[in-house]
Amino acid sequence: MKQEFTQAEGGVCAAIGFSANGLNCGLNPDKNKNDLALIYSEAVCKAAAVYTTNKVKGAPILVTKKNLAATGNLAKAVIANSKNANTCNADGEEKARMMCELAAKELGIAPEEVIVASTGVIGQILPIEPIASHVKELAEGLSAENHGKAANAVMTTDTFPKEVAVSFELDGKKCTIGGMAKGSGMIHPNMATTLNFVTTDVAISAELIQKALSEIVKVTYNCLSIDGDTSTNDMVSIMANGLAGNKEITEEGADYELFRDGLYEVLMQMTKMLAKDGEGASKMLECTCAGAPDQDTAIIVAKSVIRSPLFKCAMFGEDANWGRILCAIGYAEADFDISQVEVSLESAKGTIKVCEHGAGVEFSEEKAKEVLGEDEIYINIDLHQGEASAKAWGCDLTYDYVKINGDYRS
């Protein structure tokens, strides 16, 4: 990242012209948990999105794709619900379109200008009545201060809401990019991995905002793995309303690179939050693969390690079983010389080298236990075969993961 960015408050409402709200409409029987969210821009936005690669796609994804195609990638609002994924249902698209129509009516916009998303249990009919009876209240409560209510409304097994925003100067104007994310389980590339909504007041063309989003997703969300399951409803959307007043970015260059760096900062921070809040997780894991012949090789190796169930279990047990790391590196589908590989484990308590030239080295098991006792663990791999590098993120695999997913529908 070539630019310093200032952390900002407000999540998806940090950028000029955005408001949001969230409430409990009754999909979630726990009245203390919101289950319906709305995000709105006072100006029409250039929009872009990246979706799950699962062949089974939630109805909201199909409808959002059609809406963006109909408007030429323009949007003004997002409506999203939790508790029910609206997936694998015969009436799924009809219900998703109804959600867009309900939101559009209250906001005075076209239904096609609404991005729709759902998360929750697959294969259960989505009752539209609770949503219909609460959309008016949801829209009337829109404000920049209610970003937290919206972030809370898309949570499922998440233990905390995930919001990030950064500000920077572009073309002499203060610009902001903000976002909110949900996700704790059923997270594995390729994209999008979770529900993520990003907003910005930067003026940028629809083509370049899509290009930037696709590029950054590749090295952030697509490098996140909690449990190896790719969800049916994964989506990242971004809306840019241009209200910051910068000259519209219509071609690649310094301004585009700065915007791209800002988007990376937001998506990277949210990726780390998602990794930290993996279902049942006690540790956030970050794997860096350096010294690779190219970035794709670095990504493949880092992801191979971070998604290994045996490695994730070892991290839960605070066991420096480096053989599991080498095993995961070894089955990575990339071309490199394993005899050159070096591996170290790092945390706030220090660093221990566990492997050099593809073979183990002596280290203190006592020191290793201390290093792995922290809640953020960094796995550093050097292939010593080039200049490229990449990171991947995940979490340990714990007893609680099984408990959570053993009775998820209840």
Residues annotated catalytic, as ranges: 193
Please enumerate in sequence order all residues whose Cβ is within 8 A of that of 406, keeping only pairs 6 or more positions apart, or say none.
none
Greatest CA separation for the chain: 68
Spell 256-293 as b/e; 16+ CB within 10 A means b. Answer: bebbbbbbbbbbbbbbbbbbbbbbbbbbbbbbbbbbbb
Cα–Cα dist 396/314, whole Å: 8
Please enumerate in sequence order all residues whose Cβ is within 8 A of that of 119, keeping only pairs 6 or more positions apart, or say none.
80, 81, 82, 85, 154, 156, 182, 195, 233
Count of alpha carbons within 13 angstroms of residue 238, beta-carbon side: 33
**Residue 320: which of 271, 363, 265 has the closest Cα?**
363
Answer yes or no: are the C-beta atoms of 353 and 336 closer than 8 Å: no
Cα–Cα dist 121/28, whole Å: 12
- List for the chain the helix, strand, coil content (%; round to 5): 35, 30, 35
